[in-house]
Amino acid sequence: MGLLPAALVVCLLQAQAVGGGPDGGVSGSDAAAPAAPADAGVPAVKPPELTHFVPAVYPPDAEAAGVAGSVTFSIVIDENGKVGAIKVLDPGPHPKFAAAAEAAVKQFQFSPAIINGKPTAVEVEYRYEFVLRKAPPPPVPTEKPVSLIGRVVERGTRAPVIAASIDANGPTAETDADGRFTLRGLPIGPVKIHIVSSAHHPLAIDEVIEANKVKEVEYRMNRRRYNQFEAVVRGQRERKEVAVHEVTAEEIATVPGTQGDVLKVLQDFPGVARAPFGLGLLIVRGSAPQDTKVYLDGVEIPLIFHFGALTAVVNTDVISGLDFYPGNFAANWGNAMGGTVDVRTRDPKHEWHGAGHVDLYDGAAMVEGPVGNGSFFASVRRSWVDEVLRAVVPSGLTVAPVFYDYQLKYVHSLWGGQGQIFAYGSSDQLDILDQNTAQKISFNSEVQFHRLAARWQRGFAGNWRNDAIFSLGYTETSNEVVNAVKLDGTLLTASLRDTMTWHPSDKFTLEMGTDSSLRYLTYDIDLPKLTAAQASSAFGTGGLNGNPSQNTQASTSWAQPGFFATASWVPTPRLRIQPGLRFDASTDIERGHSWWFDPRLSLFFTAGPKTVLKGGVGLYSQAPQPQDLIPSLFGNPGLTFQRSFQYSVGVDQKLPYQSDIEVTLYDKYMWDLETPTTDPDQITKDPLYISNKGKGRSYGLELLLRRQLMKGFYGWIAYTLSKTTRLDDPSEVPMGQPNPWHLYDFDQTHILTVIASYQTEHNWTFGTRLRYVSGDPYTPYVNGIFNANNGSYVCIPGDVNTARAPAFFQADVRIDRRFVYDKWIFDGYLDVQNVTNRANPEALFPNYNCNGYATLTGIPIFPTIGLRAEF
Amino acid sequence: MSGFDRNDQIVDSLRILGIGQHVDDGDGIDWADADVGDTIHLSALVANPGGLSTVTVTWLACLPIPGQTQPCTDPNYLRDPTAVIPMANDPTSGVYLLGQGTDVDYTVPDTDDVQALLKSLLTRADMFANAQCALYTQIPLLIVAQDSANGAVFAAVKNIRLSPWKEIQQANDAAYMYYVRNANPALGALNLDPPVLTQCDGQPLYPGDTFPDGPQTICLVVGQAQSYYTCTLDGPDLANPVPEQPAVIWYTTGGALSSFAAPTDGSGSSLASRTFTVFTRPTGPFTIYGIVRDGRDGEAWIAQDFQ
């Protein structure tokens, strides 16, 4: 929406004009024709609602010819609910329909769209329906008796069908906001009832009217397409970032290769490198996976995928969408050098609903409904991969991953605003089990987190608004090799994220707040302490050469205060300037800088009605991970912030057919990067393992050509052309030898993803995803040294990442079928990954004497069947 | 997974197949552990299709220097092992030239540094669980074989074992007195077609014997060494001492070797899987190598020629 310095919201509203009698009069729907309710309940963004309807004049020649149909517009509704620019998208079946409908639509009045609690200008699609019917009966002096009362609901979802036209071969009625209607004066005996709604298939029912009786009915209409995009508010809110990719759950729930998991689609965006084996690592613009932060409703969570990326840690049923910032994000986000992912859950519905699904890996159930004046949802998932493995592996050892997650949310009006309480949690446990005894042996790894949070949003006088989130967190990690190594840690956090927004005029907005936390870490570690020589030896160390396993139990607490301010200034209608300032500090940094101010700036220039130019520049800082600061064992207490300077420029261009293209050029310099070192501590001579002497750079081009979900079809093409390099700690090369820059481990020159999906009116969905990615760099072996103690060879690496693995290509297909019953819906899908059964190399292993390589390939053709039901 | 070269047991180029360390105390036992003052006889089993006359074997030792990596095991130096040889001229490098040839002798110097290295094992034994099973330290050797005929280079690393066995024998400290000084495995004959899996007692093959055609199961008789147990475990939780489990790695200059398929019922499978193999001879002369390692830096081998 090039001209609008505001959110772009696309939804489809519906209204009808009903053909009048022979005089050509038109009876429009006096009732407001509000936005169809969201398929997924109350949407995260509240769409505009029609509050004043003006009927269109039915073109006489069209009526005479018996022509009916609809006109589809794109209209702008400003912050006051008034209709602005109108564009005809579909003129309908008669040449005079568009003009007649446009004249009426210009007089409409809406309630404004509410985004993040404030009125916002939006662009919507609006369909005006011209429906022929016989002239209404002549007015009668007295109101006729009620013959038929009822309610029209949608099959499956049980949502009310609003503004449907009821025609009983004479008497007519319209459904209200709850789908209810009343018909009077029907003749005694058989009556044919016709029901028309623009989003549903027409319905015709035979009824028998008895004398002196009021018949009560409920009619169920079939939606033209379930998983309906018409009912989904989606699009982009006002952007603070040069590049932000926003998607809704409905839009991507059927992306092939994701098994219906919304968050897996993150890996299909530009700027995200492909992780080997589909591990779900977020490698964004050349940054390490841990450099990208993930938030769930504004609360940071430590991981986004369960073990092996089988599924995300949040049930798709409760997700409304996500924002993904690959870089140059606004000052509202910080302490991250890579990207930021903000996952949003939806608000619970006020009616009782539920859903459940099962597939090969896990099962999940969700229920929601009203509690008092508020509403809640509760969702839980548990894996059964371990049970499947036990069943199919007859003997020996096997790996048994077990995971679960849960989400609870309660929403209620509170102190003039909205209050929310939510609790999220996840647990992953990986054991190596002895199948014969079912005893845990050898290895155990577990990570779990729990978050309890309260949120309060409210607007205040003077155009102020506050959004506060306070959360308590518990994160536990445990890794143990029995009788050898133990790494246990527990992190308690108390976080506050509070954003105060001041919006005194359309030309200026100021957001400022805090993003701070208090943290308390306890750890219990058994780990042998090696000398520098032992740490670098590839030939093993035997006997008492090393120090004994050292048990370290300690705790530490620290604060990470963060503050931000972001302004949005529109000096001219075509230019928006967005400066920001971020402050991040970490009190556990003992040496070097323990705080930084990071200035950031973004510019948006509307070069044309469909073209926006944009640019961003800024500094970014990231505190060390707490475990990296643990001295003597594997950390370096002298670590400080990693830093980067990022800038990017790009263009957004609207295209025909609801498509747009976004091109971004980015460049990112990184310094003070954490990198392995063999340098010892100058005082204790203990190895430091990690230093801040690394540097890096990543630059490239990102392209996203996207067709919005419309008429059952959507898709996108994402392409990234990039190069990422690193400079290691000088101790990593022999003294006197050069320390050149080298390719980063996940440098992938070309990343191309094509996604397409089409849904028929018979609730079949067909989709495909194609991916081509350059192979990862690897370090070739230049020699093999015979280890005479055991008869094997030790491979000697050459220059870092000077070879590249073969390219990756995979095609996935998916077929969904939705069965709609009166009160529930059943889904089944077949998701086939790697349908061409291509042997993609995922890892290279050296030959016995390191003079050749063997290839470990990724998944072969892999079909998955899933079932889902909702009521 | 695909692409692995399984031809690692066919010797068709310059190779070092084994490195032995032998300490002769005059008691008739082939000891593998050395203490200060002991003379270690180091020997290399070198195979080369062109013969050994053009092969030079250089022995280097790397002594630990605090805060420094050891060139004998540092991958950065081992890109070109021949470049480590001249480092022996630099006394600060920690690299020492032990000699040249397939066999060299090295006397563990009775210096304060080495004494301290071994004594520290005893003084720190209380800090370790089961210290008596690991009361040794290792010194890495880099052995570089160079064939002047074709420029081929082959390098091996051997960690030789030093233990304060002299003091242990006189000690009465439970933390380390039960350490068993290691001896090299004792080898018997190469046997053909063993009838049972629990021992290698088939038809002995001596030099000059004819090796039959077709796939043949062969094994190597490994005697119970002086150091059959790794240590004597003491205490309520350490009641069962763990014996050594020597294993054989087979090589040949021709023919085909394949793994012995031990029965899945567990009867004798442990010994058979460690010491048996299936070999199909080539049409011409060939050599079979069997290298036994006890897992404690002790090893022995046979190299037997057949026509």
Report the pLDDT averaged over residues A476-490: 81
Q: Is A62 helix (H, G, I), strand (E, B) or coil?
A: helix
pLDDT of residue A442: 61
What value does the mean pLDDT take over residues A173-187? 87
Percentage with pLDDT > 90 across chain B: 39
More confident residue, A694 or A853: A694
Helix (H) or strand (E) holding B273: helix B269-275
Say which range, A129-143, A594-608, B7-21, has the weakest mean pLDDT.
A129-143
Confidence of residue A184 (pLDDT cuts 50, 70, 90): confident
Mean pLDDT of A545-570: 84
Q: Which of residues 672-691 of A touch B (CB under 8 A)?
A: 678, 680, 685
CA distance B135 to B121: 6
Best residue in A395, A547, A551, A785 to probe B by mutation, most B CBs within 10 Å? A785
**If pLDDT is split at 50, 70 and 90, which confidence band does A116 have?**
low
What pLDDT is recorded for position A64? Answer: 79
- Closest CA–CA distance from residue B134 to any residue of chain A (Å): 4
pLDDT category at B104 given cuts 50, 70, 90 is very high
Res B80: pLDDT: 93
Is a pLDDT exceeding 80 seen at residue A751? yes
CB contact under 8 A, B131 and A544: yes
Q: How confident is the model at residue B61 (pLDDT cuts 50, 70, 90)?
A: very high
Calculate mean pLDDT across residues A662-673: 96
Residue A346 has pLDDT above 70, yes or no: yes
Residues of A in contact with B2 (CB under 8 A): 854-855, 857
Nearest CA in chain B to A683: B67
Q: Cβ A545–B128 below 8 Å, yes or no?
A: no
- A848 min Cα distance to partner chain B (Å): 6
State the pLDDT confidence band at A144, using cuts at 50, 70 and 90: confident
Instruction: Please tell me the distance in Å from B61's CA to the nearest CA on chain A.
Output: 14
Contacts of A538 (CB under 8 A, 6+ apart): A794, B73, B75
Q: Which residues contact B280 (CB under 8 A, 6 or more apart)?
A: B213, B214, B215, B216, B255, B256
Q: Is A604 exposed, middle or buried (0-12, 13-18, 19+ CB in 10 A)?
A: buried
Share of chain B above pLDDT 70, in %: 91
Predicted confidence at residue A564, as pLDDT, reads 97
Question: What's the gap in Å between the CA of A556 and the closest CA on chain B?
Answer: 27
The whole-angstrom distance between A676's CA and the closest CA on chain B is 15
- The answer on pLDDT for A330 being more than 80 is yes
Reported as a single tens digit per residue, the pLDDT across A821-850 is 888 889 898 988 899 999 998 888 888 888
- Whether residue A433 is predicted with pLDDT greater than 50 in this model: the reply is yes
- Read off the pLDDT of each residue in A570-575 and give the average, rounded to a whole number: 93
Q: Which residue has the higher pLDDT, B226 or A213?
A: A213
Chain A positions touching B43 (Cβ under 8 A) are: none
Residues of A in contact with B154 (CB under 8 A): 786
Which of B12, B48, B69 is best to mutate for the A interface (most A CBs within 10 A)? B69
On average, the pLDDT of chain A sits at: 82
In this complex, the residue of A532, A537, A851 whose CB is nearest that of residue B73 is A537
Structure tokens at B71: 């060139």
The CA distance from A26 to A17, in Å, is 7
Q: Which residues of B touch A685 (CB under 8 A)?
A: 66-67
**Taking CB atoms and an 8 Å limit, are A544 and B137 in contact across chains?**
yes
Cβ <8 Å between A791 and B78 = no
Residue B273, both tokens: 């899987």
Residue for token pair 């000697």: A796
pLDDT of residue B238 exceeding 90: no
Residue A798 has pLDDT above 80, yes or no: yes
CB A788 to CB B158 under 8 A? yes
What confidence score (pLDDT) does residue A504 get?
92
Residues in chain B within 8 Å Cβ distance of A551: none
pLDDT for the residue numbered A643: 96
- A365 — pLDDT class (breaks 50, 70, 90): very high
Write out pLDDT tens, residues A620-634: 999 998 878 877 666
Determine the Cα angle at B289 with ends B286 and B295, to 5°: 170
Instruction: Please indicate if any CB of chain B lies within 8 Å of the CB of A741.
Output: no
pTM: 0.77
Which of A137-151, A469-483, A833-847 comes out lowest in average pLDDT? Answer: A137-151
CA dist A423 and B249 (Å) reads 58
Across the range B50-58, mean pLDDT stands at: 92
B110 pLDDT more than 60:
yes
Between chains, do B2 and A790 touch, taking CB under 8 Å as contact? no
Task: For A440-449, write each residue's pLDDT tens digit.
Answer: 456 778 899 9
pLDDT(A47) > 90: no
Q: Which of A378-387, A517-526, B224-233 has the lowest mean pLDDT?
A: B224-233
Q: Which of residues 180-239 of B touch A (CB under 8 A)?
A: none
Please tell me the distance from the alpha carbon of residue B222 to that of residue A386, in angstroms, as a whole number. 43
pLDDT at A31: 30
pLDDT at A636: 84
Question: To the nearest 10°, the Cα dihedral for A273, A320, A704, A615?
Answer: -90
Mode of pairing for the β-strands spanning A781-787 and B153-162: parallel
Q: Which residue did the predictor score with more confidence, A708 or A257?
A: A708
Q: What is the 3-state secondary structure (H, E, C) of A275-327?
A: CHHHCCCCEECCCCHHHCEEEECCEEECCCECHHHCCECCCHHHEEEEEEECC
Is the Cβ pair A786, B156 closer than 8 Å? yes
With beta carbons under 8 A apart, name residues in chain B contacting A797.
Answer: 75
Give the sign of the dihedral formed by CA A138, CA A143, CA A147, CA A148.
positive
Residue B253, beta-bridge partner list: none
ipTM: 0.94
Q: A with B: how many residue pairs have Cβ under 8 Å apart?
A: 136
Question: In angstroms, rounded to a whole number, what is the distance separating the alpha carbons of residues A331 and A645?
Answer: 14
Contact partners, residue A39, CB within 8 Å, separation at least 6: A157, A159, A226, A227, A228, A231, A232, A250
Q: Give the helix ranges, DSSP H, for A478-531.
A: none
Distance (Å) from the alpha carbon of A618 to chain B's nearest alpha carbon: 38
Contact across the interface for B135 and A782, Cβ inside 8 Å: no
Interchain CB contact of B151 with A (< 8 Å): no
Q: Which residue has the higher pLDDT, A779 or A246?
A: A779
pLDDT at position A231: 27
Residue scoring higher pLDDT (A728 or A243): A728
Q: What local confidence, expressed as pLDDT, does residue A38 receive?
A: 34
Which of the given ranges, A56-65, A395-404, A620-629, A749-758, has the highest pLDDT on average? A749-758
How close A389 comes to chain B (CA, Å)? 21
- The pLDDT confidence band at residue A537, using thresholds 50, 70 and 90, is low
pLDDT of residue A706 exceeding 60, the answer is: yes
* CA angle, A395 then A401 then A402, to 5°: 120
Chain A residues close to B156, C-beta within 8 Å: 785-788
> What confidence category does residue A5 fall into, taking pLDDT thresholds of 50, 70 and 90?
very low
CB contact under 8 A, B134 and A543: yes
Q: How far is A742 from chain B (nearest CA, A)?
A: 16
> Residue A19: pLDDT above 80?
no
* CA-to-CA dists, residue B301 to B19, B186, B251, B276, angstroms: 10, 9, 11, 15
- Comparison of pLDDT for A212 and A116, the residue scoring more: A212
Nearest chain A alpha carbon to B131:
A544
From B3, which residue of chain A is nearest by alpha-carbon distance? A854
Higher pLDDT, A538 or A723: A723
Q: List, for residues B182-198, the tens digit of each pLDDT value.
A: 999 988 888 998 887 77
pLDDT at A690 over 60: yes
Q: What is the pLDDT of residues A56-76, one digit of tens each?
A: 888 888 887 778 888 888 888
| CB within 8 Å: A734 and B125 | no
Classify the C-alpha dihedral A529-A535-A538-A543 as positive or negative: negative
Nearest 10 degrees: CA dihedral of A384, A388, A393, A394?
Answer: 100
B45 touches chain A (CB under 8 A): no
pLDDT at A475 over 60: yes
Mean pLDDT on A216-244: 59
Percentage of chain A modeled with pLDDT above 70: 82
Helix, strand, coil abundance in chain A, percent, nearest 5? 5, 55, 35
